Structure formats: structure tokens, C-alpha cells
Chain A
Amino acid sequence: MESIAKIIGQRVAFGALTLWIVSLIIFAGVQLLPGDIATELLGQSATPETVAALRKSLGLDIPAYLRYFDWLRSILQGNFGTALANGRDIAELIEPRLFNTLLLAASAAVISVPLALIGGIVSALYRNTFIDRAINVVTLASISFPEFFVAYILILFLAVNAGILPSLSDVDQSTSALGRLTAMALPALTLAVVVLAHMLRMTRTSIVNLLGNQYIETARLKGLPEWRVLVRHALPNALGPIATVIVLNLAYLITGVVVVEVVFVYPGLGQLIVDSVQKRDIPVVQACSLIFAATYVLLNLTADVLSIVMNPRLMRPK
């Protein structure tokens, strides 16, 4: 147990370092993009005078490195600052978006993780039969299509033709729980379909890999039914890699869903970061990317810890 605490401590320290490097790269990256917030906000109607006035009012006439240190100082005090474009508090701006993103990721996970586990087990159970092949073909086909295509297909059948689900995920703070579920159904389904294959294939492979082991043979010789051999004897030992894949897919569900957000007009974090990059609103970009980076760091840490916890041999290193 002591070693786990140590590992977690180390990882958190490295995570903090990663976040700092990410913040540096993002800041430098946005600086390298052509134009700044003043020219992007004014667009076609920019004149040198109005651009200068806007820059001055936003404090962009201060050198970039000084602005970075200012930002770093306030972030260390837990203050995300205010958006350049409209002066709103970034924490307030992000909170509902983050909530939406997490909720969508959770819904997609609730649909896809059990399906992936069950599907993987069934696939392993009936390996190399028609059922296994069918599951493989369907899931691999769905992961091969781009997300927006899956989304449009679902919209066509479930929203336009059948008219059971809305094509627009119009949610806000006043939306009821049931309303939210309905509104999020299509994007959650789309995401579930997209991440399903990876997890399902991993479950199947991990289980099948273990089937040659002697203890499986023993279990079979005891006369146990095949499904019990898989679920009680093989699955616990296969959980490590499965957990890793699931957790990494969760990270993807949080950070990589901007296309699905656009198609369903779902107000999540992805849309916010795209808007902010377009307008060169550095504090918002920084805040969003830190959240994304932190998600990755934390979930990776979780994956590592899980795989250690699930493997008694790693729990007691010699």
C-alpha cells in the first residue's frame, strides 16, 4: 500500500510539471498564431486605430512574457481570471460547460462500458463463431466511420424519420432531468458507438489471451461451464488492461468530442475552446487546456493505480 501512495505522489508531482509545460506551450502557440484578439474581434471592420484602442483596453500592449507571469501568479492563487473578449469571469464561464461535458461523457460511458464488457465476454465465449464475427464487424464498422457521419445517420433515423429524439441538444440550467436525458440521448449514443469498439475488442483479446493458462484448464477440468470460466477465472486477471482502455476512452470522451458538440449544438467545453482559439482569447484557452490536460493526467494516474490494484503481484513488489 505504501508503494501506491508513493506512486501517486510522484505522479501528481509529474502531473503538475506537465500542466505547467502545457500552459507554456499553449501560451506560446497562441502567440504564434496570426493576429490577436483585437484583430480577430474586429475582423473585416478593423482599422489600425480601433485595433490599438482595443489592445490597450485589454492590456495587450504589455509584453507577452509579463502577461504570462501575471497569469501564472493568479492561477497559482486559484484565480482563472477574466475572458478578454467580454470580461466575464472564466470560472463562471467554464463551470456550466464543464458540467455539460462531464455529464455527456458519463452518459456515453454508462451506455458503452457495460455494452463493451458484455459484448467482449460474449465475443470471447463464442470466439470465432458467427456471433463473434458479427459483433466485430458491427463495432469495427462503427469506429471506422467519422463521428459526424455516425451522428448524421442517427439523426436521420431517430430524429428526422422517426421523430422520437431531438436533433438539437438544447440544454441549460433550467432543463429538467428528463429533458436533459432526451436532449443528450443522440450525442451520448453517438459517442458510445464511437468508443465501444476499442473497449470491446480489448475485453475480448485480454480474455482470450488468458485462456491458454493452466488455471483455466484446471477450471475447465473441474467441469465448470465456459461462461463461468470466463467471468470468474479469466476476467479478474484481464481487468488490468481493460480498465486502462476504459479510462483512456473516458479521457477521450471528455476532451475529444468537439465534432459531436458541433453537430448536436451541445454547449460543452470543446465549443468554448474552439471559439476562444479563433478569437485568441488566451486566458480562456489556457483555462480550458489546463482542464483537459489535468483530465488526462488524472485519468492516466487512475488507470495506473487501477492496474496495480487489480494485480496482486504488482501490489507486493519484491
Chain B
Amino acid sequence: MVKGYDFSPLSAVNRRRFLQSAAAIGAIGIGSASGILPSLAEVTTPKKGGHFKIGVGSGSTSDTLDPATYYETFMYIFGHSLHGYLTEMSPDGNLVGELAESWEPSKDARTWTFKLRNGVEFHNGKSLDADDVVASINHHRGDQTKSGMKNPLKTVQDIRSDGPATVVISLTAGNVDFPYLMEHYQLAIMPAKDGKPDISGVGCGGYVLDGIDFGVKATAKRFANYWKPDSAWLDSFEVLAIRDVTARTNALTTGQIHAMDRCDLKTLNLLKRNKGLEITSVGGTQHYSLGMFVDAAPFDNVDVRLALKYAMNRQQLLDTLLNGYGQLGNDHPIASSNRFFAKNLPKREYDPEKAKFHLKKAGLSDLKVQYYASDAAYTGAVDAGVLYQQDAAKAGITIDVVRAPADGYYDNVWMKKPFTANYWGGRPTADWTFSTAYEAGADWNESHWKNPRFNELLIAARSELDDAKRLDMYIEMQSLCRDDGGTIIPVFANYVNALSTKVGHNKIGSNWDLDSFRCAERWWLTDV
């Protein structure tokens, strides 16, 4: 499992880049139907220098530099610019080492040994050692923590250093995918002093924080002693919080910023006409979901759930809500890019007759349910609810769409009402995805689903080292989720960004938005 960075001479680098670009072109061939501009065909060599400006639709005066309370893209970008992480998801979707040079599980996958990279320096001059890693991970554990990563890390039993360059993490149960957890944007490695991490923004990433005005903008400069070759090309970059999508688009078209996230899909076709812009669209793990409480009537009957699943017109949702920038969902949360994706599982389609059949089987002639939606879940959630209402009516199902206030939606409505709208940013592994919201007793199990066979498989697959066996298990789990589960997953939404043609990039990672939040590290400016 040794995965390192390519330190080889330039020619090898170029060859590698050619391969990456070739792969990217291949991806475009598939993606062109959904409207990706084929400007990547031209292979550009990255250039050093320049000041890169990006406008993002998030950022708040209440943001903090503490990775435990990072909230939304504005801070996530800084996480991956100021800090290093143990592992990294490559644009091709492979887990590679970042601060960890290699890692090794014990036979039962319960103990993980991470070997740290040599010669990594923090912005304050300190060298990276194992104690920094221990303190940084522990920052998200224990009773005092405010971190959203507390839950995923609850299986960590103990974490200790073994010499300056080795970290040993033992888990309460085997988990083959554990290293994937370590690339999460909250698990930044910070310099530690007396066992306490420094949460002031000092890291060992490619950029040093220059100034931050929370909720407005922040700038960072290239770190002169950054260890990673062929990355962090920019002299400096600036992130602007521009929450209004029209203001963001205006800033991009008038050349005040180089890139923006969360494009307005309704007007994207007009934006595409602008020759100075490139629209990038990557399909990732982000998906929309409708959770039903399987322990509450009428959703406690599997046929009612199936009727509701068949009554959803997914293609229409993809065409209208996402303007085609997405993929159809199959009522399970595993993305098609995941290596354990069940390729041969039949796609669920809109079928009012089947919906009626299942209603009948449940002993019902008609069905009336209340569905709570809010734009806090995702833009257009209420509109999607109304579309669903129309389609379901043809199957004899009356859906009463309740527009819930965006303010406080996740506190008062989601997981409080029996049938609600939600979105998931997605998780990089099948296990993590399932254990976040589908495992019995998980904090965010939005459907209260407790399928014994599913849970048995989930735990078995977690510590199964044989990939072929794991694949079979995950396929069965996806099928269970699809046919028995309490969650409707109509679509996977792409990450759609608009970039000035002055921005150079290789294949864009699909793990998270903006090249897996590594845009500042991976992108460059062509006009410097």
C-alpha cells in the first residue's frame, strides 16, 4: 500500500501529465452529452505565479480557522490550502499518501500504522512529527469536541505515536477503508505544542494565510518551503464570499474573479456562450434524498415505500431541476464512480402502474402523505417536491408539499418529520456512506431503517480484505437499500463551476466540489 509522490525528473512528470490529460479527454467523451466544453484537449503546462481570485457562494462572519468548526466551501478551500492531511484523493479517485508516506493495516484491519513523510515543515518552522498527528486527530475526539468528525471517529479506540515518524491507530472493529477517513477536510494536521494543536491557521499546506476577513474574503501566499512538488503553482490566491449567484456570475463575466462555484443551472446555457469561460461539470457523490421514517405509518409498509419510489419521475427532475447536470439515482447512495457501485442493478424508472400495483399490495386504494421540503436542503427542493406531487398524482398518491422555513430546517424539520427533503455531500467510500445514514442506530439515519441483513453485511464488509468478496457484499447492500430502504434518491447532482479560460487545470477531482477543494493547490494561471 505504498503510495507516494512522483519525484522523478521532468520528462517522467510530463509523461504522467499526458496520461492524466488523456484520461481527462476520455472522460469528456462520456461527459460531453451533459455539456462539458472540450477545452481540456489542449494540454497546457502549469506555470508558476500569479494571483488567483475565486468567488464562492458561502462564507460567513461566524466562520473560524479551527478545522473542527469549518463550515461550507469558503473554509474547506482554506483547509486544503493551509493544511496537509494524512491522505489525499487523487483526481482519478485513488487514495494516495499526503503527509503519510505509507500505511499498513493489521490482519484484522483493526490497527493501522501510518508512516509519516520526512522533511515536512509547518509554516512556523516546526517539523512534522507523530505527536502533531496524534494531537490533531484527538482534537476531534472526546467529550469536549465540537467537531462534526466526532461521529466518524468514534470507532477509534486509541491513537499513539511510535517514534517521531510513525502513528498507530487502533479501532474498536476492523475497517479496511479507514485511511479514506484521513483525507476529510476537517482532519487537518496542525502543529502541536504540549499535546494541544495550534488552531490559528498554521499548517504545513502549500499556502500561508495572509489575511482573513470572515464572511468577506481571505488571502494566502505560497509557502516557500512547501514539500510537495508540482503543486501550489500560484504566488497567492484570494477567496471572496459572494453569496448571491448573480453577483458571482457578474464578477466572473466582468473579469473580477477567475472562477466561481455553484453556477446557476437555469442560466448556464446562456453563460456557456461566453467564449472567455469554461464550464466544468464533474459527477461526484453529492446527491439529493427524500427520507421516510420506516417505523411510522404509512411508511412502515415496504410496498408503500416502493409505490412512492416508483411514483418519482427521476428523468424529469434531472432535466428540469439540474438542467441535465447530474446522474440518475437508483435509491441507494453509492455513486457510479465508486469502485463498489452495482453496475448491473436495474435502474428504477418512473412507473405509475407499478406504483399503483404496490399500493394495492399494501391494501390501499389511495395514499396521502405530507412531504416537508425547504431550499435549505438544496436549491429547488420545494420545486422538486411540486414536480413529485404532479407525477405521483398519476399513481393515485396525493403528496402534500409543505414548504418548511430554511432558517432552522436541519434543527426542526429534518429527521423530526416523517418525510423530508435532504442532500448529502457524499462520502468517499461505500462503507462511510452507508454507516453515516443507513446503519441501524447511526445518528443521521434519516429513515430509521434497520435491516438486519444489511447491517450484518455492512459490518462484515468493513473488515473484509478481499475486494471481490467486498464487491459482492456491497452489491447486495445497494440492492437491499434500493428495494427495502426508506430513502428515495432520485438524482446525483454534479459539481458545476465556471472558470475563466485563463485558469489551467488537469482532470478535476470529483470527491468534493472545486477539485476536491484543492483548486488552489492544483490549478494555475496561464497568463503569467
Contacts and interface: CB of A to CB of B under 8 A. Distances in A.
Contact of B412 (A34, A41, A45): A34
Nearest to A93: B61
A170 interface: yes
Interface in B356-399: none
B253 interface: yes
- The dominant DSSP class at the A interface is helix
A86 B408 contact: no
Interface in B136-154: 143-148, 150-151
Contacts of A84: 62
B256 interface: yes
Nearest to B147: A50
Nearest to B424: A44
Interface residues of A, number: 49
A167 B254 contact: yes
Contacts of B412: 34-35
A289 interface: no
Interface stretch (A139-147, A240-248, A268-276): A268-276
Nearest to A152: B246
Contacts of B148: 42, 45, 50
B460 interface: no
A53 B256 CA distance: 41
A275 B146 contact: no
A41 B243 CA distance: 17
Contact of A172 (B60, B217, B250): B217
A41 B411 contact: no
A160 B253 contact: yes
B240 interface: yes
A230 B264 CA distance: 53
A159 B254 contact: yes
Contact of A43 (B242, B250, B410): B410
Interface in B196-212: none
Nearest to B414: A44
Contact of A35 (B64, B69, B411): B411
B226 interface: no
A168 B145 contact: no
Interface in A279-293: 279, 281, 284
B24 interface: no
Q: How large is the interface on B (under 10, 10 to 19, 20 to 34, 35 or more residues)?
A: 35 or more
Given A35-B408, A160-B253, A281-B62, A43 B240 contact: no
B430 to A, nearest CB: 20
Contacts of B471: none
A155 interface: yes
Given A35-B408, A170-B240, A278-B60, A271 B215 contact: yes
A7 interface: no
Contacts of B295: none
B62 A276 contact: yes
A5 interface: no
Contacts of B63: 85-86
Contacts of A45: 148
Interface stretch (A114-122, A130-138, A215-223, A258-266): A258-266
Contact of B251 (A57, A85, A168, A267): A168
A47 interface: yes
B296 interface: no
Given A155-B250, A278-B60, 20 more contacts: A35-B407, A42-B146, A42-B148, A43-B71, A45-B148, A47-B151, A47-B443, A50-B147, A53-B143, A85-B61, A160-B250, A163-B254, A172-B213, A172-B217, A265-B240, A265-B242, A265-B243, A271-B61, A275-B61, A275-B215
19 contacts: A35-B412, A39-B408, A39-B411, A41-B62, A41-B146, A46-B411, A53-B146, A57-B144, A85-B64, A93-B61, A152-B246, A159-B254, A166-B256, A168-B256, A170-B217, A263-B246, A264-B247, A275-B215, A276-B62
